[in-house]
Chain A
Amino acid sequence: MPAETEAVKTPLYDVHVGLSGQMVDFAGFLMPLRYASETAEHVAVRTAAGLFDLSHMGEIFVTGTGAAAALDHALVGDLSALAVGRARYTMICAQDGGVLDDLIVYRLADEVFLVVANAANIAVVADALTERAAGFDAAVEDRSAAYALVALQGPLAHEILARHTDAPLAGLKYYAILAGRVAGVDALIARTGYTGEDGFELFVSAADAVAVWRALAAEEQVVPAGLAARDSLRLEAGMPLYGNELTAETTPFEANLGRVVKLDKPVDFVGKKALAAQAATPPGRRLVGLVARGRRSPRQGYAVLTAAGLPCGVVTSGAPSPTLGRPIALAYLDTGVVEEDGLAVDVRGRPEAVDVVALPFYKRH
């Protein structure tokens, strides 16, 4: 029997175990699913602040005089137009336009970009970037193992983090990043997140992760939050998850993310031809939000049914929403389906009525 690949422990593994975190293998990393109640963790992020270990995410650096040009060629976004100190949500696509990963790219300096990839895709993204940067004066380096990523998210995140840093947080805009010190260690402080709340993501050296975590976790209003809360928070915020809403078989246009594909940027990029063709024709399906009328939750892979009971789509993510008090879901719905008319989701053999709603399900005030 071949030996199974052992799941990677993040620098905060012992901290999670000490907090009685229920550890699960997520994309090859041992991560906390929840500590106690995932609903309480979810609510804490909506009302106070939650602390997340995101060290499974990938940190890939692209540097050099040709770094911006290399990223313009490799990704669907216009990264050379990105100002230093700012971040952008973008994607890396295959030649056929399929999504290989969705990314946040930070421009740390003129010639230094930090590309943050999903845990499951680190190798795919690093390899593709290396291959695509070959003709440019740019170096691609996967430094994921050297970095830990800790996120503090929630309406109190700003005032809490301000107690642990001298960095000018008030001037740090959404989707911006600066270098500073947090809890006595060097950090890249980004105002980004995946929860629908205000908050920060702190990139620190793996060796400093415990110090930053302990300083923030010691704050009374901060609740450690696991992957379960992270998933329900992002779902309420209508944010796609790679592997669910986005795959190599989905296009950005189906996912309502056509805006991130910069077809008019002045250079050619991988996937442009296919993406331009997709942009010119309406997609055969598109991502919608569903709210269930009953209490049984649509789940990933369940069929969406018309009033006549015919399949007309598929659920990509679904869960009971702590904020709405009802199950919510993201689903790909075939183009032309009349949304007002008695749609249902086949929940283990029984149709449960759903309504199509505008996304996001939750927007902070």
Chain B
Amino acid sequence: MSVPEELRYSEEHEWVAGLDGEGGIVTVGITAHAADALGEIVYLELQPAEGDTVEAGEVCGEVESTKSVSDLYSPVTGEVTAVNTAALDEPKVINDDPYGEGWIFKVRIADEPGDLLDATAYSKLIEED
């Protein structure tokens, strides 16, 4: 299962991109491992809208597939600056391209998040699953 080197990961199987970028805006999605384990995603619910704040480690939505459902946690704290309306409309894009077109929301982070995993640590985590 693909675990891109340049991303950071939460234990709840979200990825974070752009931590080193300008302006402190990061992109969040769910990993290929999580999308695959869920099966075909048919419904994505995101509680915060643009301008709302999210808290690291708190539930901010849910991802539902034909066979199961799981909560979506925000891996970071900050203000939501964008949500992927294309993924809300057609959540299957999360299965098809979890690290690209299947991104879920963007956050302007207040601080550097502390407890995210790098690709090596996350790969180890999902091997132990």
Q: Which residues of A contact B (CB under 8 A)?
A: 22, 33-34, 37-39, 228, 231-232, 295-297, 299, 319-320, 322, 348
17 contacts between A and B (CB under 8 A): A22-B36, A37-B95, A38-B66, A39-B40, A39-B42, A39-B66, A228-B67, A232-B66, A295-B42, A295-B43, A296-B62, A297-B64, A297-B69, A319-B67, A320-B66, A348-B62, A348-B69
Contact of B40 with A38 in the complex, beta carbons under 8 Å: yes
- Asked if B118 is an interface residue, CB under 8 A from chain A, the answer is no
Q: How far, in angstroms, from A299 to B42 measured CA to CA in the complex? A: 14
Give, as a whole number of angstroms, the nearest-CB distance from B37 to chain A.
9
Chain B residues near A295 (CB, 8 Å)? 42-43, 45, 64
Q: How far is the CA of A311 from the CA of B49 in the complex (A)?
A: 32
Which residues 72-94 of B have a CB within 8 angstroms of A?
A: none
Are A320 and B64 within 8 A (Cβ)? yes
Cβ of B18 within 8 Å of any chain A Cβ, yes or no, is no
Q: Would you call B42 and A320 a contact (CB within 8 A)? A: yes
- Complex Cα gap A69–B62 (Å): 54
Which residues of A lie under 8 Å from residue B66 when comparing CB positions?
38-39, 228, 232, 319-320, 322
> Counting CB contacts under 8 A, is B39 at the interface?
yes
Find B45's partner among A22, A39, A296 (CB 8 Å cutoff): A296
Contact B39 A320 (CB under 8 A): no
Flag if B39 contacts A297 (CB, 8 Å).
Answer: no
Taking CB atoms, residues of chain B closer than 8 Å to A37 are: 40, 95
A319 to B43, CA, bound (A): 11
Report which residue of B42, B67, B95 has the largest number of chain A beta carbons within 10 angstroms of its beta carbon: B67
**How far apart are B62's CB and chain A's nearest CB, in angstroms?**
8
Shortest beta-carbon distance from B87 to chain A in Å = 14
A172 to B85, CA, bound (A): 51
Q: A297-B64, A319-B66 are known contacts. Are A34 and B43 too (CB-CB below 8 A)?
A: no
Question: Which of chain B's residues has its CB closest to A227's CB?
Answer: B67
A296–B67 Cα gap in the complex (Å)? 12
Q: Are A38 and B39 in contact (CB under 8 A)?
A: yes
Quote the shortest CB–CB distance from A12 to chain B (angstroms): 21
Q: State the CA gap A231–B67 with chains docked (Å).
A: 9
CB A230 to nearest CB in B, in angstroms, measures: 12
Asked if residues B67 and A38 are in contact (CB atoms below 8 Å), the reply is yes
- In the complex formed, the residue of B with least CB distance to A24 is B67
Taking CB atoms, residues of chain A closer than 8 Å to B69 are 297, 299, 348
Using CB atoms, name the residue of chain B closest to A42. Answer: B66
Closest A residue to B36 by CB, please name it.
A22
Flag B58-69 by CB within 8 Å of A: 1 or 0 each: 000010101101
The complex places the Cα of A296 from the Cα of B43 at a distance, in Å, of 7
Q: Let me know if A296 and B64 touch, CB within 8 A.
A: yes
**What is the minimal beta-carbon distance from B126 to any residue of chain A, in angstroms?**
15
* Shortest beta-carbon contacts, A-B, top 8: A320-B42, A295-B43, A39-B40, A37-B40, A228-B67, A38-B66, A319-B66, A320-B66
Smallest beta-carbon distance A235→chain B, Å:
10
Q: How far is the CA of A167 from the CA of B114 in the complex (A)?
A: 68
Residues of A within 8 A of B64 (CB): 295-297, 320
In the complex, chain B residues whose CB is within 8 Å of the CB of A320: 42-43, 64, 66
Residues of chain A within 8 A of B40, CB atoms compared: 34, 37-39
How far apart sit A320 and B63, CA to CA, in the bound complex (Å)? 13
A34-B42 in contact (CB<8A): no
Q: Contacts of A33 on B, CB cut-off 8 Å?
A: 39, 67
8 A Cβ contacts from B16-59 to A: 36, 39-40, 42-43, 45
How many angstroms between the C-alpha atoms of A231 and B68 in the bound complex? 13
List of A residues within 8 angstroms of B42 by Cβ: 39, 295, 320
B33 to chain A minimum Cβ distance, whole angstroms, is 12
Complex: how many Å from CA A22 to CA B37? 9
Given pairs A38-B67, A295-B45, A296-B43, 14 additional interface contacts (CB within 8 A): A34-B39, A39-B40, A39-B66, A228-B66, A228-B67, A295-B43, A295-B64, A296-B45, A297-B69, A299-B69, A319-B66, A319-B67, A320-B42, A320-B43
Taking each of B42, B62, B66, B67, which has the highest tally of chain A beta carbons within 10 Å of its own beta carbon?
A: B66
CB distance from B40 to the nearest CB of A (A): 5
